[in-house]
Amino acid sequence: MTLPLAPGARQPDGPVWVNGRIVRGEDAALSVFDRGARDGGGIFETLRVYGREPFAWTRHMERLVLAAAELGFPVPPTPASMREGVAELLEELALDDAVARITVTRGIAGGRPTRTGAWIEVQPIGARLWRGTRRGAATAMVSPLVFDLGWMGAYKTTSRMAWDLAREQALAAGVDEALLVSSAGELLEGSASNLFVVRGREVITPPLASRVLPGVTRAIALELCAALGMAAREARLEVADLATADEVFVTNSVQEILPLARVAGRDLPARDVGSRLLAAYRERVAASR
């Protein structure tokens, strides 16, 4: 399997906020004794910044802090200090529209009091948009890798290799996203997005009970369905549902709400519901600033 350079690979020299300080290059380092480095013991949030304002900040912080507590992490830096960190990086990089990634690790075992390793990176938005997002015609395939997420599927952990490989296979196949399917044939989510299918007048998304990531954008999309009077529900989906779907869209904080033009080799007949939701999402972003 030959894979392209991982998306998100970046210049090693830019500024990074590490445990409260802005550092560069070699100084942006994590101890090899940190469980984030040794065992993939980390969680992260990726969020979009519009005009210097991080969107849905509180929801992202709630997910991060809740996950840290549930997974037995030391207490992470306060949301206020992390917000300050994002602001400092935006200032330093002179960026208004960007993607911020906040990573928190389990820290070094046995130290008392234990401390998380925490760092923040900020990138220009252009570097992070998928080709299909830029062109307005995104595509997806069904991943050949089987995903049985288990209880960890509900957390945004740094143990990302399986998800990254699925997405890199999608990129190598010339599509934007890989849809993940369990060994029981259940369609779950994308490698970096939540999944929605539109059938008739109904919007359907796999249930959180299947331990898909409780996406911030997924939750907002469901709220927008309610606000726009669209019927929406959680239900089990299978690969066969892609063949009969009127529309399919995926959601994440960076790509927003992304109606697919083609999925699993089939051109989709419509993108109206996804496009309406995207317009409503952007209105919500504008109203939040």
Ligand X SMILES: Cc1ncc(COP(=O)(O)O)c(C=O)c1O
Q: Are strands 138-146 and 177-181 parallel, antiparallel or unpaired?
A: parallel
Q: Does position 163 bind ligand X by CB under 6 A?
A: yes
Nearer to ligand X, 105 or 252 (CB): 252
Amino acid at 53: E
Q: How many CA atoms lie within 13 A of 115 on its CB side?
A: 10
Q: Does position 102 bind ligand X by CB under 6 A?
A: no
Nearer to ligand X, 108 or 194 (CB): 194
Nearer to ligand X, 45 or 247 (CB): 45
DSSP class of 204: E
Task: Give me the least distance between CB of 59 and ligand X, in Å please.
Answer: 8
Nearer to ligand X, 108 or 179 (CB): 179
Number of residues that bind ligand X (CB under 6 A): 14
Task: Give me the least distance between CB of 182 and ligand X, in Å please.
Answer: 13
In Å, what is the CA distance from 233 to each residue of 173, 196, 227, 248, 271?
A: 31, 10, 14, 14, 19
> From residue 124 to residue 153, what is the string marking binding to ligand X with x (rule CB under 6 A)?
------------------------------
Strand partners, 122: 100
Task: Give me the least distance between CB of 218 and ligand X, in Å please.
Answer: 6
Binding positions for ligand X, 15-54, rule CB under 6 A: 46
Task: Give me the least distance between CB of 32 and ligand X, in Å please.
Answer: 26
Strand partners, 50: 53
The pair of three-digit structure tokens given for residue 4, joined into one six-digit string: 């392209």
DSSP class of 34: B
Nearer to ligand X, 47 or 89 (CB): 47
Nearest of 275, 211, 278, 273 to residue 245 by alpha carbon: 273
Binding positions for ligand X, 240-269, rule CB under 6 A: 251-253
To 5 degrees, how large is the angle CA 197–CA 201–CA 207? 40
Q: Are 271 and 258 in contact (CB under 8 A)?
A: no
Strand partners, 238: 186
Task: Give me the least distance between CB of 138 and ligand X, in Å please.
Answer: 14
Distance between CA atoms of residues 71 and 68, nearest Å: 5
Nearer to ligand X, 116 or 194 (CB): 194
Q: Does position 123 bind ligand X by CB under 6 A?
A: no
Q: Are strands 202-205 and 231-234 parallel, antiparallel or unpaired?
A: parallel
Nearer to ligand X, 108 or 256 (CB): 256
Binding positions for ligand X, 204-223, rule CB under 6 A: 213, 215-218
Binding residues (CB under 6 A) for ligand X: these are: 46, 163, 189, 192-194, 213, 215-218, 251-253
